[in-house]
Structure 1
Amino acid sequence: MTDQLPLTPESGWNALFLDGAWIDAGERETIGVENPYTREEIATVPAGTADDVDAAYESAAEAQSEWATQPPQRRASIVNSALESLGEHWEEVLELLALESGSTRVKGVAELQTAKGMMQQAASYPFRMAGEHDDSIVPGKENVVERVPVGVVGVISPWNFPFHLSMRAVAPAIAAGNAVVLKPASNTPITGGLLLAKIFEEAGLPDGVLNVVTGNGSDVGDAVAGHETPRVLAFTGSTEIGQQVAKQAAGNCALPALELGGNNVHVVTENADVERAVDGGVFGSFLHSGQACISINRHLVHESLYDGYVSTLADRAESLPAGDPTDEETVIGPIIDEAQRDQILEYVEETVDAGATLETGGDHDGLVIEPTVLSGVDNEMAAACNEHFGPVAPVIPYSSDEEAIELANDTIHGLSGSVHSEDLEQARRIADGIETGMVHINDQPLNDEPHVAFGGTKQSGLGRYNAEEILEELTTTKWISVQREPREYPF
């Protein structure tokens, strides 16, 4: 594999990145990387093995001790150099996101802007790992509490926002003095994994501090999650798989840092500005064809505004350009693969069969599903009670604030949400009542700011990303005491 950028599908991605070296697939099996819009194979990557995971963790453990001793300026400079590399190759990375993950231009730019912000935040972490001096109850004793890196961090990232959702764990972990083993999703091994290796390699990261093993989740993913080496296991994905990852990590007393599924509500009260609420509803439901854990899964609309909201939302949905994600005008691109597409369409069909009305959409062209609006929905219907993860907007009527809160909380998830009302006291009252890690008033749930804690409650995850919270996840405290005067013992 060439050591030089540019970054294109033809750059030769058929290698693992272990201990600072690109290891060709050799005798390993390979995985084809397909463009979700054309279904053409754009690259192949190695199907890594458990032995590769062992080698990656061994390299990480060996490199970490030296990396942790580097001064904060050195660690910050590597992250800043990686950030500079991203800026230099911005358009190439956007093209890779479009070709590998089906990202439209607007989604790709949003993803890279968010990743950029997280990298900027991470570059400050080496200077924020302050300890403290505590008085002692023992005469003549000095107590020092240091904040130190945990050691090795395992990262398993998803396919929907592959670059950002890998980088938000990798950059802070490296900045804090840890080494990383990254396993990207098999649908997006380039933008979720190998691309990060190239960027940090170009930035001058020492060998072994970042290792990338591509492969199938059932093989490599289990090996990464269940390995005895990592002290933190960062995972983003479905609740079902996340629960398995948490059990594997906990079996080795590693901390599971999980962002899992969501069933996020967009509450439109009787006091809402309907046009503003629809604007948020369109963006929150249809960015990246709804393939986001924090996208709107249910629209809860007060009965007094219900018919008008449904009609306007359907009109807006019909107007969204759909098709080739490389066309800058496209808003609705492809679903990642056939299995995801079929599941989404099945939820729509089951919901209509249960009595809902298909206002618009419901069909598909290849992997491009039409933006779909369903009315007459209740909380028990398939498109509402499941995380549908597609360009589907089920609209549910409600009659009181109390009912809206009850409907919002009637789910195992608690990730994000939004409330629209010109009466901010009402909006805050509803927001306070919703059991979720994040809620946005007069906006929509798709928000992620690098300096604000990000995460969910209930079965939407454990821990938080961003801000001070991710730094606390990736570091630990160490108490060192110094007995400066002879101590008297009872025996």
Structure 2
Amino acid sequence: MTERGFTTDGSWNALYLDGEWVEADDRDTIAVENPATREEITEVPAATEEDVDRAYEAAAEAQESWAATSVEERNAVIEDAIELLDEKRDEILESLAIESGSASAKAFAEWQTAKGLCHHSLGFGEQMGTETSESMIPGKENEVERVPEGVVGVISPWNFPFNLSLRAVVPALATGNSVVLKPASSTPVIGGLLIARIFEEAGLPEGVLNVITGRGSDVGDRMASHPELDVMAFTGSTEVGKRVASLAGEALALPAMELGGNNPFVVTEDADVDAAVDSAVFGSFLHQGQICISINRHLVHEDLYDEYVEKLAERAEALPIGDPRERENVIGPVIDEGQRDDLLEYVEETVEQGATLETGGEADDLFFEPTVLSDAENDMAAACNEHFGPIAPVIPFSDEDEAVKLANDTEYGLAAAVHTGDLDRGRDLADRIEAGMVHINDQPVNEEPAVPFGGMKASGIGRYDGDEIFHEFTQTKWVSVQNETRDYPF
């Protein structure tokens, strides 16, 4: 078998099924490119529906014995995986740069968050004990325990491939489930196959984790509708998520959906402009804005508007652009041509609608310039759509009611942030904004292992992280014991 390490180097042209690396053989393959250089990194198999079936069958067969292992045994595997995350940190960071275009700050934050989520999952096994409950029937004892759901399917995206795969995989394993993981076809190594390698090295039993590579258009429907599926954990666009959730529902599997966002950043007239711009630059341009919780719209009070736009544009122009393997570069490439072309179209259409291009708006191959658009309105293309790029439309407002109306005027409700000089006022605004996560005097790109992560409205179903993911991946089971002979009425 081909030796596989912990970087994108070498051959990854295999699926990970039932504890074995299954070579591509006569399957079609998918070329994986470095978006910064456009060089081919490797190729991976384009899995078939038969491969998906094999993965689910292996997971279903392995799940019962995995659930029967002790909490200590399951945690030992996860602890060994965490040690590998530490030991192979530099290789993981390099793979994030090469495969997903992640600049150093983003890559490190992704690795750090993934590690924290793994640590948090170690406590889930202890929560799967039995609790007693009172009975209205004499002599009866009621026990309620939490048990695994069974087989968890995971479809993860390309923007934070390592973290957003592990935040589903590890809690699922910790609670006694088995997993079938399909990473995005743009990031199949760091989002999937390298994770399989980590858990293989950590001693995870065969079949408990299976990794399928391939295009969603080919195998996505089978992933989301398989008869062995019990929970479908999906992170991606709302449009695709609706179909995934529908298929999972037809299979009577629970959908755990983290979907799109159109996140407002509200700056009130008493805010510290420099602090707000500091937050805005990070929240708009980290990872080229390719983050579901990045700032999509800057809503700025008219009294501060001109100063804010000027300072934001100056900061955007100064951000270093280039290959993310060079530590000084902050802006790396967007993921592919389709993403770039969408961004160019959003900017062009928004300017045609009356906005002013303050800076940016052009691309050199896949390197898209940080872009600031003033005189924007909520219904312009770059504002009303989830643009998923380094574009900052800045929209003025006159009072708090207008700010809240603008913030909520979207089908999405994932994340938001408010900058203000009055924390009580900020809390009031946070309460009025329809979003699952709101940050005061910060920006919306935040994820912490112990805090629930998810959105309202069209931004998803359920929550990741915190103890919420524990409840997504487990179910209750009631066992009663009648200790005394029961008196029946007939």
Please indicate, yes or no, whether the TM-score normalized by the shorter chain is above 0.5. yes
Tell me, what secondary structure is at the counterpart of 2:257? strand
Counterpart position of 1:229 = 228
Q: Which moved more, 1:376-385 or 1:115-124?
A: 115-124
Output aligned runs, 1:350-429, within 5 Å: 350-429=349-428
Q: CA RMSD in A?
A: 0.8
- Partner residue of 1:250? 249
CA distance in 2, matches of 1:322, 1:202: 37
Amino acid at match of 1:246: A
Displacement of 1:479 in angstroms is 0.3
CA distance in 2, matches of 1:236, 1:130: 30
Counterpart in 2 of 1:179? 178
Aligned partner of residue 467 in structure 1, secondary structure: coil
Answering whether residue 127 of structure 2 is matched by residue 131 of structure 1, we say no
Whole-Å Cα distance in 2 between the matches of residues 478 and 393 of structure 1?
49
**Is the partner of 1:158 in helix, strand or coil?**
coil
For the Cα contact (< 8 Å) 1:214–1:220, is it kept in 2?
A: no
- Deviations 1:301-322, CA, capped at 9 Å, x for gaps: 0000000000000000000000
Moved more, 306-315 or 33-42: 33-42
CA offsets, 1:402-438, max 9 Å, x none? 1000000000000001000111111111111000000
Which residue number in structure 1 is paired with residue 152 of structure 2?
153
Give the C-alpha shift of residue 40 in structure 1: 1.1
Q: Take 1:343 and 1:9, find their aligned partners in 2: how far apart are those partners?
A: 28
- CA apart distance, 1:177: 0.4
The code of the aligned residue for 2:326 comes to D
| SS of 1:339 mapped into structure 2 | helix
Alignment match, 1:71: 70
In 2, Cα distance between equivalents of 1:363 and 1:474: 44
Tell me the distance in 2 between the aligned counterparts of 1:323 and 1:350: 26
Where do residues 201-220 of structure 1 align in structure 2 (5 Å cutoff)? 201-220=200-219
Q: How does 1:112-127 map to 2 (within 5 A)?
A: 112-127=111-126
Cα deviation per residue 1:235-284 (whole Å; 9 max; x = unaligned)? Answer: 00000000000000000111100000000011000010111000000000
Native 8 Å contact 1:77 1:123 kept in 2: no
Distance 1:136 1:222 in 2: 44
Tell me the distance in 2 between the aligned counterparts of 1:286 and 1:9.
Answer: 26
Q: Tell me the SS of whatever aligns to 1:16.
A: strand
Counterpart mapping for 1:83-482 below 5 A: 83-482=82-481
Instruction: Give the drift of 1:488.
Output: 1.7
Calculate the TM-score normalised by the size of structure 2.
Answer: 0.99
Per-residue deviation, 1:86: 1.0
Q: 1:185 to 1:4 in 2, by over 3 A?
A: closer
Q: Equivalent pairs: percent with the same residue? A: 63
The AA in structure 2 aligned to 1:309 is: Y
Letter in 1 for 2:403: A
* Alignment partners' CA distance in 2, 1:115 and 1:173: 14
Moved more, 298-307 or 71-80: 71-80
Q: Kindly indicate whether the alpha-carbon contact (under 8 Å) linking 1:183 and 1:220 is maintained by their aligned counterparts in 2.
A: no
Residues in 2 aligned to 1:8 and 1:392: alpha-carbon distance in whole angstroms: 31
2:235–2:241 CA contact under 8 A, matched in 1: yes
Give SS of 1:9's match: coil
User: What is the TM-score when the length of structure 1 is the normalising length?
Assistant: 0.99
Aligned partners of 1:10 and 1:435: how far apart in 2? 44
| Structure 2 unaligned blocks of 5 or more | none
Q: 2: distance between equivalents of 1:454 and 1:470?
A: 9
- Structure-2 change in CA distance of 1:211 and 1:269 (3 Å): same
Deviation at 1:102, TM superposition (A): 0.6
| Amino acid across the alignment from 1:166 | S
Per the TM alignment, residue 4 of structure 1 is displaced from its structure 2 partner at its CA by 5.4
Instruction: Tell me, yes or no, if the aligned pair for 2:8 and 2:190 is still in contact at 8 Å.
Output: no
Shift of 1:2: 3.8
- 1:128 CA displacement: 2.1
**Match for 2:489: what amino acid?**
P
Contact 1:78 1:204 in 2 (8 A): yes
SS of alignment partner, residue 181 of structure 2: strand
The code of the aligned residue for 1:197 comes to A
Cα distance in 1 for partners of 2:119, 2:91 equals 20
Report the CA distance between 1:127 and its aligned residue: 1.5
Q: Which amino acid aligns with 1:136?
A: S
Q: Deviations over 1:445-483 (max 9, x none)?
A: 000000001000000000001111000000000001111
Contact 1:360 1:373 (8 Å CA) reproduced = yes
Would the aligned equivalents of 2:4 and 2:11 in 1 still touch at CA under 8 Å?
Answer: no
Return the offset for 1:3: 5.1
Residue-pair matches, total: 490
**What amino acid sits opposite 1:70 in the alignment?**
T
| Deviation digits for residues 190-211 of structure 1 (CA, Å, limit 9, x no counterpart) | 0110011000001000000000
- Give the letter for the 1:374 counterpart: L
- Measured in 1, the distance between the counterparts of 2:400 and 2:453 equals 26
Secondary structure in structure 1 of the residue aligned to 2:443: coil
Following superposition, the deviation at residue 135 of structure 1 comes to: 1.2
Letter in 1 for 2:393: P
Pairwise CA distance, 1:11: 2.6
Flag structure 1 segments of 5+ consecutive residues without an equivalent: none
**Distance in 2 between the 1:450 and 1:131 partners?**
25
1:146-173, Cα deviation, whole Å (9 max, x unpaired): 1011010000000000000000000000
TM-fit CA distance, 1:139: 1.2
| Contact 1:262/1:414 (8 A) holds in 2 | yes
CA contact (8 A) 2:4 2:12 kept: no
Cα shift at 1:131: 2.7
Q: Deviations over 1:358-408 (max 9, x none)?
A: 000001110000000000000000000000000000000000001000000
Letter of the aligned partner of 1:149 in structure 2? P
1:285, CA displacement in angstroms?
A: 0.1
